[in-house]
Amino acid sequence: MSQLLTPARTRGFLRATAAAVALSSMVSAAGCGSSDEGGGDAKTTAAVHAGFPVTIDNCGVTTTYDEPPSRVVTIHQHPAELMLALGLRDRMVGTAFPDSAVLPELRKDYETIPELAEKEPSFEKILDAEPDFVYGGYGSAFAENEGRSRKAFADAGIDTYLNREYCGGKQVTMKDTYDEIRTIGKVFGVPDRADQLVEDLEARVGQAAGTVEDEPEVPVFVYDSGDKSAFTAGGRSLGTELIRLAGGENVFADLDDVFGDVSWEQVVERKPEAIAVYDYAGAGSVEEKKEFLLSQPALADVPAVRNKRFVVLPLTATLVGVRSAYAVEDLARGLHPERFR
């Protein structure tokens, strides 16, 4: 289809498609989690449209939504999980780039969504799914050099949204996670669900952080990947905030970026007492990463290596999305196990 349609024709086709499926999408939402918003089809439709039009500024791109998007493609796993956690399975027509195990409570719904590609799909492949909204998790979702710029989608009549972690310019905190959830809830006309989800996640974080708040901070080194140098989480990453909430301190919090490379000499100098290993497809298994760290003579006297003190986190749990609240609890248990016995 995509090879035969010009951007102008694609825009018209997609707008017509969105109008045609909007009613059925809203009605079917009553059987896919929308009972939170109303008690029947008429109530659901009214709740979904309440508050529209909605204008959102996202990473410098301003979009006005006259109605909730009805055909959504998510690129990267954490936007898909956020959508599912909001009960929006009925709006999802494709996803791409899974990189770790999906939350058990979301797995069944996730497996019903067509997977467009193992990595980022091509622009043409996305058009084939006939979306009216594309939600990207990393900046690479909208890589201009691969033909997926936000302008290219706009020219095809497709709205886009980029996870706020990649808007740049500041340290990412749990507030960004909560704001992201509420913004997506607003775009899709389900603000009550978003508020409830945020409340649940805040409670999860608060319980874990409260359990370890009186404990001394544990110096933590984040190992994402790398052999010649270490690719780690910097001070602008959500990972730094998660470690702090869990009773630790990122030893590379002074790295002024979300992620960056540091030398192994720097790792040795900072003497981390625990290592958070990020787990995701395509960067070697967790066991391979542990074996690498344990086999390096230069790291033998690093306390975390000497004591084999590792905490494993799915990469998706360290990003702006529903998994980050779970990561605080997992980290807290790993850094202060005595408080959870």
Cβ atoms within 10 A of the Cβ of 158, count? 25
**296-323 pLDDT, tens digit each:** 999 999 999 999 999 999 999 999 999 9
281 versus 152: the higher-pLDDT residue is: 152
User: Residues 43-47: what's their mean pLDDT?
Assistant: 46
User: Residues 205-217: what's their mean pLDDT?
Assistant: 96
Torsion of CA 109, 106, 55, 11, to 10 degrees: -30
Token pair, residue 159, equals: 């709205």
Domains of the chain (ranges, CATH numbers): 7-162 (3.40.50.1980), 213-340 (3.40.50.1980)
In this prediction, residue 252 carries a pLDDT of 98
In this prediction, residue 209 carries a pLDDT of 96
Is the pLDDT confidence value at 156 over 80? yes
Is the pLDDT confidence value at 240 over 50? yes
Q: What percent of the chain has pLDDT over 70?
A: 85
In this prediction, residue 7 carries a pLDDT of 34
Nearest to 313 by CA among 292, 293, 295, 331: 331
In this prediction, residue 46 carries a pLDDT of 45
Q: Measure CA 257 to chain center.
A: 18
Cβ atoms within 10 A of the Cβ of 205, count? 23
Token pair, residue 16, equals: 């017509």
Strands 230-233 and 159-162: unpaired
In this prediction, residue 101 carries a pLDDT of 86
Q: What is the pTM of this model?
A: 0.82
